[in-house]
Amino acid sequence: MTTTILGYPRIGAHRELKFVTEEYWAGRVGEEELQSTASTLRRAVWTELRDSGLGTIPSNTFSFYDHVLDTSVMVDAVPDRYRALSGLERYFAMARGTADIPALEMTKWFDTNYHYIVPELSLDARLRLADGAQAKPVAEYLEAKTLGVETRPVLVGPLTYLLLAKAAPGSPEGFVPLDLLGALVEVYAELLERLAGAGAQWVQLDEPALAGDLGAREVEALERAYRRLGGLSSRPKILLATYFGTVAAEALKVVASTAVEAIGLDFVTRPDTLEVVASAGGLPHKTVVAGVVDGRNVWRTDPARARSTYAVLLGLVGQVQLSTSCSLLHVPVDLDSEPALDPAVRARLAFARQKVTELVALDAELRSDAPQAAPASAAGVDAEVRARLEALGDIQRADRRTRSAAQQAKLGLPDLATTTIGSFPQTARIRRARADHKAGRIDDAAYTEAMRAEIGQVIRLQEDLGLDVLVHGEPERNDMVQYFAEQLSGYAATDHGWVQSYGTRCVRPPILHGDVSRPEPMTVKWAAYAQSLTAKPVKGMLTGPVTMLAWSFVRDDQPLPETARQVALALRDEIADLEAAGIGIVQVDEPALRELLPPRRADQDAYLAWAVAAFRLATSGVAISTQIHTHMCYSEFGEIITTIADLDADVTSVEAARSHMELVADLREAGYANGLGPGVYDIHSPRVPTVEEMEANLRRALKAVPADRLWVNPDCGLKTRGYAETEAALANMVAAARNVRATR
């Protein structure tokens, strides 16, 4: 037996990669320094893993932006619009766009808060191993080898890669990326041969798609791909890694029949993986890389549970190695950087470094037969919260027409009302004030004053621009989830627990460890201050229960819906306080609603039911004249379209610019008849949208939504943008709304 992990954080223990990359983008450091920092970070990971005693060590887990984008570049799946560029310039243009070329799309990596760059494939794509012997996985394998570390290069598996890709715009009807499987597998065949030539003993092919529902076509593709790769005469041994759920039984059967030497299985996400292996008649000729340590949550592993999984597996499979359930990309690097955490919570935690140590210890324990003590786990119980939830009555609001009449009487908004999604640019000045406050360089009063000054500016700007519904701009929030978590009981925040979300953007997911309650109002003083500065309505801004869970590390000792109800109750209280303070519109953001959708159809309805119930619990306590908004972004909404209607918010804003408002008609079909704000421009790019393009978007939307229900807003919050482009874009947006109002 031995140990391994499926991947490791790449951003650096102190976000070194983020900082150097952003300096490179700003033109303040050159490529040489960028490359040298990257190399230092890779080496640090390899030597750390080697010194920790881990059995086998992954490589090619580094990326300058995203591992799916790396794969696209590696197989030369580069759309023509980037062909004039080369090297890193091309790579970052694909990720982020340039002044002239739009970026590739970005979307959620399965049900995580990591985002990948969506491959765009056309029927005539000529896939090939772009850099031949210098291909990234080969180069990184050799780089580790010169340090004396033998590694297992990690690749996105060909099936998963194609299932995550989309057909290039203008592709012939019926073309799907999976049609390119044959060509892609030949590129992987060449790569595997080159890796073998470089001396690699093992390669890891990640196929998380195998934990979802698979059709006959996908199963057939799986078989074709791995028969071909398994049958290569010169290749490393193959570890085919499945994760983010239980491997589909049909897929396991196929993989078992190929020459693949090892299969990675996730024993953490769901309880039924052992049953699937047993029903398949075991895997007597394979090594199972058993994911017994949770790769994406921060709780210490229960050794008794790992032991029993191991014992059962021993009787079912050829060999067992202990591993993480998925890459450690999704957890922070080091618990030792968090001295301020409550010791009782801390005792229950393991970050990436600690998980490696856990694996080594588990392995030693299983060899020596000396059982380890289980972590003491005692989540805080709040009897009052439980009693209140128990006693809670109706969570249904009055019917939509009654509400909308009352709200219109009170708010008197024009047709095509203009607004924004909440945040305004998080400037260096704002972040510095927060850092100064935290370090004690400025006191509470000075910090409050600094934030009020920001709010004052944002309100004035919106009045000057002529927006109809204003926001306070969220300057006081380090992050829309962390900010609330820092104020709720039952939640802990970290100081350095950074996890990559996309590119150089990171988050510190808070840790939800016990029953949740709200000791004090969380947003009222900021919202009320903003409202005191203007006669226009100011929209209060909260993060919804599902998103509060999705972007946190959540306790695993009670069902998720229970935890969601506790968060929802705290939000319900907050909304009541906002209403009492004179805030007539409250937006409850649920950008992660789609993200938590389980991969298997069979599990989806139950999830959607509790997600809707939690949202309604949070939002149903208000007067009919109080307008509830919600906001969603970063998702393919297809599967949750009827759920958006079920939330029954008075107004829903959704990301729509990149899909050209397609969603608007879909929502109407699904019976959505409330207010709708399809984003009229993409906020992910510094490009300033023209009045004409936003007008065109609005006219398109008007075909499906009447003007008195159509809202005009950007796709999402503006926190990652600068002021110059924000002001220009919003001015154009208001002009577009006015033009459409005038010429309808």
Q: Residue 585 carries which side chain, given as an amino acid letter?
A: I
Judged by CB under 6 A, the residue of 478, 587, 619, 630 near ligand 39S is: 478
Question: Applying CB under 5 A, does 644 fall inside the site for Zn ion?
Answer: no
Nearer Cβ to ligand 39S (18/128): 18
Judged by CB under 6 A, the residue of 265, 417, 716, 733 near ligand MET is: 716
**Which residues have a Cβ under 8 Å from the Cβ of 369 and sit 6 or more positions away?**
none
Question: Applying CB under 6 A, does 720 fall inside the site for ligand 39S?
Answer: yes
- What does the DSSP 8-state code read for residue 80? G
Question: Applying CB under 6 A, does 480 fall inside the site for ligand 39S?
Answer: yes
Judged by CB under 5 A, the residue of 157, 291, 475, 591 near Zn ion is: 591
Nearer Cβ to ligand 39S (497/598): 497
**Which residues have a Cβ under 8 Å from the Cβ of 155 and sit 6 or more positions away?**
60, 71, 137, 188, 191, 203, 204, 205, 206
Nearer Cβ to ligand 39S (417/492): 492
Nearer Cβ to ligand MET (110/161): 110
What minimum distance in Å lies between the beta carbon of 551 and ligand 39S? 4
Restricted to residues 536-595, the positions that interact with ligand 39S (CB under 6 A) are 551
| 466 Rama class: left (phi>0) / alpha (psi -120 to 50) / beta | left
Active site (annotated) includes residue 629: no
**Which residues have a Cβ under 8 Å from the Cβ of 123 and sit 6 or more positions away?**
171, 172, 175, 179
Pairing of strands 553-554, 511-517: parallel
Judged by CB under 6 A, the residue of 305, 432, 660, 744 near ligand 39S is: 432
Nearer Cβ to ligand 39S (432/744): 432
**Which residues have a Cβ under 8 Å from the Cβ of 498 and sit 6 or more positions away?**
11, 15, 332, 333, 506, 507, 508
Identify what 481 binds: Zn ion, ligand MET, ligand 39S, none; CB under 5 to 8 Å per kind.
ligand 39S
Residues 707-726 vs Zn ion: string with x where CB under 5 A? Answer: ---------x----------
**Which residues have a Cβ under 8 Å from the Cβ of 65 and sit 6 or more positions away?**
91, 92, 95, 117, 503, 504
Place of tokens 């290039």: 168
Judged by CB under 6 A, the residue of 229, 288, 335, 481 near ligand 39S is: 481
What minimum distance in Å lies between the beta carbon of 174 and ligand 39S? 33
Give CA–CA dist 180/578, Å, rounded.
54
What minimum distance in Å lies between the beta carbon of 644 and Zn ion? 14
Give CA–CA dist 397/649, Å, rounded.
10
Give CA–CA dist 425/23, Å, rounded.
19
Binding-site annotation, residues for L-methionine: 421-423, 474, 589
Nearer Cβ to ligand 39S (285/505): 505
Residues 492-531 vs ligand 39S: string with x where CB under 6 A? Answer: ---------xx--xxxx-----------------------
Give CA–CA dist 355/350, Å, rounded.
6
Give CA–CA dist 471/596, Å, rounded.
28
Whole-angstrom CA distances from 73 to 9, 99, 188, 252, 444 are 21, 21, 13, 30, 49
Q: What is the DSSP string of 332-387?
A: -S-GGG-TTS-HHHHTTB--HHHHHHHHHHHHHHHHHT-PPPPPP------HHHHH
Binding-site annotation, residues for L-homocysteine: 421-423, 474, 589
What minimum distance in Å lies between the beta carbon of 517 and ligand 39S? 21
Question: Applying CB under 5 A, does 560 fall inside the site for Zn ion?
Answer: no
Judged by CB under 6 A, the residue of 44, 405, 435, 580 near ligand 39S is: 435
Question: Applying CB under 5 A, does 633 fall inside the site for Zn ion?
Answer: yes
The residue from 67, 115, 330, 684 that is catalytic is 684
Tokens matching residue 395: 């969570």
Judged by CB under 6 A, the residue of 468, 479, 579, 646 near ligand 39S is: 479
Give CA–CA dist 138/190, Å, rounded.
11
Tokens matching residue 540: 């209060």
Restricted to residues 594-633, the positions that interact with ligand MET (CB under 6 A) are 631, 633
Closest CA to 617 of 584, 575, 555: 575
Q: What order do you get walking across the sheet with 651-654 strand by strand? A: 539-543, 585-589, 627-632, 651-654, 675-678
Nearer Cβ to ligand MET (10/719): 719
**Cβ 362 vs Cβ 372: under 8 Å:** yes
Question: Applying CB under 6 A, does 113 fall inside the site for ligand 39S?
Answer: yes
Binding-site annotation, residues for Zn(2+): 631, 633, 655, 716
Identify what 435 binds: Zn ion, ligand MET, ligand 39S, none; CB under 5 to 8 Å per kind.
ligand 39S
How many residues touch ligand 39S under the rule CB under 6 A: the total is 20
Question: Applying CB under 6 A, does 279 fall inside the site for ligand 39S?
Answer: no
Question: Applying CB under 6 A, does 507 fall inside the site for ligand MET?
Answer: no
Stretch that binds Zn ion, among 267-275, 371-379, 551-559, 585-593 (CB under 5 A): 585-593
Judged by CB under 6 A, the residue of 303, 584, 591, 675 near ligand MET is: 591
Residues 606-635 vs ligand 39S: string with x where CB under 6 A? Answer: ----------------------------x-
Give CA–CA dist 713/701, Å, rounded.
12
Restricted to residues 445-484, the positions that interact with ligand MET (CB under 6 A) are 480
**Cβ 542 vs Cβ 523: under 8 Å:** yes
Q: Which three-class secondary structure state does DSSP give residue 565?
A: helix
Give CA–CA dist 461/441, Å, rounded.
29
Identify what 674 binds: ligand MET, ligand 39S, Zn ion, none; CB under 5 to 8 Å per kind.
none
Footprint of ligand MET on this chain (CB under 6 A)?
Answer: 421-423, 480, 541, 589, 591, 631, 633, 716-717, 719
Q: Which residues bind Zn ion (CB under 5 A)?
A: 591, 633, 716
Residues in contact with ligand 39S by CB under 6 A are: 113, 426, 428, 431-432, 434-435, 478-481, 501-502, 505-508, 551, 634, 720
Q: Which residues are catalytic?
A: 684
